[in-house]
Amino acid sequence: MMSSKRPIARKYRLAQTAAGDVIMLSELANKMLMRASKRAETSYHDLAKATRIPVNTLHVYAQRLEQAGLIKREKRMVNSRVHTVITAVPGVLINIPVRRV
């Protein structure tokens, strides 16, 4: 028995990397990628605030999404402090429409 009231198909989304690989994203990863794609660059703090995902969880998802080729993480110096900024890789398609059979 499923404990969730939402069907499994609604919990996952598909994204396509610039290289053409199709990747299944969880709800949280999709939320993070959607937010990152709407801005030129964003920080972990801004992402946590906007998505209500804990920063520790964002670190894990950012690492996975970067390995998959969906986002880039870069370190920047701001006021003598190092900040990590996250940007979506150009050419990434999010929420690919899927036909159910």
Q: What is the pLDDT of residue 27?
A: 87
Give the up-direction half-sphere exposure of residue 36: CA atoms within 13 A in the CB hemisphere.
Answer: 29
For strands 42-43 and 71-78, give the pairing: unpaired
User: Domains of the chain by range and CATH?
Assistant: 12-77 (1.10.10.10)
pLDDT at 41: 86
Which tens digits make up the pLDDT trace of 38-73?
A: 888 888 999 999 989 899 999 999 999 999 999 999
Cα dist. 54→4, 45, 48, 57, 59 in Å? 21, 9, 6, 5, 9
What are the distances in angstroms from CA 80 to CA 43, 45, 65, 76, 77? Answer: 16, 18, 28, 10, 6
Q: What is the pTM of this model?
A: 0.78
